[in-house]
Amino acid sequence: MRLHSLTNRPGARHRRKRLGQGESSGRGKTSGRGGKGQTARSGSSIRPGFEGGQMPLIRRIPKRGFNNIRFAVKYLPVNLESLNQFNDGARVDETALRQAGLANGVIKRIKVLGEGELTRKLTVVAHAFSATARAKIEKAGGVCEVLATPKPAAEPTAKS
């Protein structure tokens, strides 16, 4: 068997539907585009949510309340089980976790979670620890060091 002798199985390939090939073809005249109008034109595309000039639903409904997504503190999760790949007595910090491929992404803070068992005595440096992760690390003889993250400076209030 050679590459040039390979063929598709019967029924695996379909003919392209040829539009506009006469009225009896089933796809003649308007070629499946309906009548006249914006969608019948070539190159026309209407963005999702467009309602033909009517005020769209997303703009009609009221928007109230506070959304925390912009201000939420996000962490990259690292499970305890994955820390077993480091040598006994090693210091596991952010750079070590990123080099090992355990903390990938643009999020700056790392949180160690207590999933799995830790069999090594490690010094783990992270921004946050879950209670079970802290207990398991200390039970294995390791140390948890919490990195302090600087808080954003408060805007000065104008007193008049």
Q: How many domains does the chain have?
A: 1
Does residue 56 lie within any of the structural domains? no
Does residue 15 lie within any of the structural domains? no
- The per-type count for the chain, helices as H runs and strands as E runs, is 3, 6
3-state secondary structure at position 141? coil
At residue 47's C-alpha, the angle toward residues 44 and 50, to 5°, is 110
Provide the residue-wise pLDDT of the chain in tens; the chain has 160 residues: 899 999 999 999 999 989 999 999 889 999 999 999 888 999 988 999 999 899 999 999 998 988 888 888 999 999 999 999 999 989 999 999 999 999 998 988 999 999 999 999 999 999 999 999 999 999 999 999 999 876 665 566 666 5
Residue 121: burial class (beta carbons within 10 Å; 0-12, 13-18, 19+): middle
Q: Look up the pTM and report it.
A: 0.56
Range of the domain at 105: 76-146
Q: Let me know: does 99 contact 105? Beta carbons within 8 Å.
A: no
Does residue 109 lie within any of the structural domains? yes
- What contacts 123, CB < 8 A, 6 or more positions away? 89, 90, 91, 92, 142, 143, 145
Does residue 130 lie within any of the structural domains? yes
Does residue 151 lie within any of the structural domains? no
CATH number, domain at 107?
A: 3.100.10.10
